[in-house]
Amino acid sequence: MSKKINLKSLSIDELSGFMEGQGLPKYRAGQLLNWMYVKYAASPAEITEFSRELRNRLGEIACIGNLVVVKRQRSSDGTEKFLFGLEDGQTIESVLIPDNDRLTLCISSQVGCAMGCCFCLTGKLGLIRNLKAWEIVDQILGVNRLIMPKKVTNIVLMGMGEPMANFKEVVEALKRIISFIGISKRRITLSTAGLTPKILQLPGNAPDVNLAISLNAATDAVRNKIMPINKKYPIRSLIEACR
């Protein structure tokens, strides 16, 4: 039997094409998006807005991927850590930080990281793999499902991995977070250790979300020691790219 299509892995155009291929009108793609990203449907069978016949037909060829929370830890200051299991057995972390009426989720963009910052445990793993756009986005849906009726209000891409080193999937994830989940770009922060060529590619390619630089030192001498990326892209080039 051929593998089912994960509907969450599809971009809006791919999803429209998929529905069209099933002989369904375009508005069905909008309904499907709403059920996946707002109502957190975990399978086509849960989409009760569709007829039983359509649910069964979709269920035979497609599924809705969901990251599984394998561990949830709460600290005394209210911060919560979620360990998600991925389909290939790898794990990633997201951290929920409550602050008055804000609920900020720090999400991961890679399994492991190649940047090798000396103060970082993820860096010690090396890069295992890039996350797919849907795996980046699904950390938000996975947490929203657990904290209902509350919802994550702000996003920082500051978890495992260097987001700019997974540029294409991160850009696609940003687009989906804004248009499918409905989090404003002003409430999203992309963080980087300083991959300056990628910073320069942001305008025109990615939604203009906030940018944060993980600087950690004010001189090249110190930064070279603790963040190896600085040897390739020193502080001056980083500041120029930001400007």
**Minimal distance in Å, beta carbon 45 to ligand SF4?**
38
List Cα–Cα distances, 115 to 53, 126, 162, 242, in angstroms: 50, 8, 7, 19
* C-beta closer to ligand SF4: residue 122 or 130: 122
Minimum CB separation of residue 243 from ligand SF4 in Å reads: 22
- The residue number whose beta carbon is nearest to ligand SF4 equals 123
- CB 161 to ligand SF4: min, Å: 6
DSSP-assigned states of every residue in 29-44? HHHHHHHHHTS--SSG
Closer by beta carbon to ligand SF4, 33 or else 115:
115
Of 143 and 227, which has the nearer Cβ to ligand SF4?
227
Q: How far is CA 96 from the centre of its chain?
A: 14
- Judged by beta carbon, residue 106 or residue 141, the one nearer ligand SF4 is 106
Provide the token pair at 190.
């992309």
Which stretches of the chain bind ligand SF4, using CB under 6 A? 113, 115-117, 120, 122-123, 160-162, 193
Spatial distance between the Cα atoms of 163 and 166, rounded to a whole number of angstroms: 5
Torsion of CA 50, 53, 57, 60, to 10 degrees: 100
Report the half-sphere exposure of 37 (CA within 13 A, side-chain side): 23
Shortest approach of ligand SF4 to residue 187 CB, angstroms? 21
